């Protein structure tokens, strides 16, 4: 079995061509559907079980939802011409404090779907010039275009979906 690279160890050398912007927006649009598909094929009894100290299935979904405000804020940073994008909370305090395991699954999936829809709508309204904006990513310390952020977010989604798949296999 392949080991998943920890998120904060990932590097992002790939720079998608600007013409792929609509394709990456579609990838972002599809994440809530993919999360819901995972939920439909996972026994409800294991949704809130943690794997040691690692997050449960529901906590991963909640984490994806928690970060939507960061992604939308970074889009606003691009549009405002900020030199550096707002920083993420690298401790993930919001997710740890949210008690996602005590929530109903539908609240998490609907919240993620609604927040992601807001992000996708904002991206779709961008002009090509706005979408070509560049700012510095604070952790990676590299310039990032809007399309690079879209790729980053899509990769982050996939990272957590892959962990959820492994968790389902291990616990289910």
12, pLDDT greater than 80: no
Residues ≥6 apart with Cβ < 8 Å to 37: none
- What is the C-alpha separation between 144 and 142, in angstroms, rounded? 6
At 154-166, the pLDDT tens digits run 999 999 999 999 9
CATH number at residue 49: 1.20.120.450
Residue 10 lies in a domain: no
| Assigned domain for 2 exists | no
Domain that holds residue 134: 20-171
CA–CA distance, 86 with 67 (Å, rounded to integer) = 12
Q: Residue 108: its pLDDT value, please?
A: 98
Asked if the model's pLDDT at residue 10 lies above 80, the reply is: no
159 vs 155: CA distance, rounded Å: 6
The tokens for 61 are 């979904």
Give the percent of the chain with pLDDT over 70.
94
**Does a structural domain hold residue 11?**
no
Residue 159 covered by a domain = yes
* Domain membership flag for residue 118: yes
Question: In the chain, where does DSSP find H-type helix?
Answer: 21-40, 57-66, 68-79, 93-97, 105-124, 128-131, 146-171
**From residue 15, how far is each of 12, 35, 40, 124, 136 by CA, in Å?**
8, 26, 34, 20, 14
pLDDT score, position 172: 76
Establish if 67 belongs to a structural domain. Answer: yes
Asked whether residue 15 is domain-assigned, the answer is no
pLDDT band at 85 (very low <50, low <70, confident <90, very high): very high
Region 61-78: what's the mean pLDDT?
Answer: 98
Number of domains in the chain: 1
pLDDT at residue 7 is higher than 70: no
């Amino acid at each position: 079995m392949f080991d998943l690279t920890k998120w904060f160890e990932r590097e992002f050398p790939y720079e998608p061509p600007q013409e792929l912007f609509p394709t990456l927006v579609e990838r972002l649009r599809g994440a809530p559907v993919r999360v819901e598909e995972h939920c439909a094929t996972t026994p409800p009894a294991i949704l809130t079980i943690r794997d040691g100290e690692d997050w449960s299935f529901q906590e991963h979904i909640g984490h994806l939802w928690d970060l939507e405000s960061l992604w939308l804020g970074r889009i606003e940073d691009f549009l405002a011409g900020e030199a550096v994008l707002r920083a993420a909370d690298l401790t993930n305090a919001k997710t740890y404090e949210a008690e996602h395991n005590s929530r109903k699954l539908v609240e998490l999936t609907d919240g993620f779907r609604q927040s992601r829809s807001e992000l996708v709508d904002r991206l779709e309204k961008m002009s090509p010039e706005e979408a070509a904006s560049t700012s510095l990513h604070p952790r990676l310390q590299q310039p990032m275009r809007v399309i690079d952020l879209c790729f980053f977010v899509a990769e982050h989604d996939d990272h957590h979906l892959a962990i959820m798949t492994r968790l389902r296999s291990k616990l289910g």
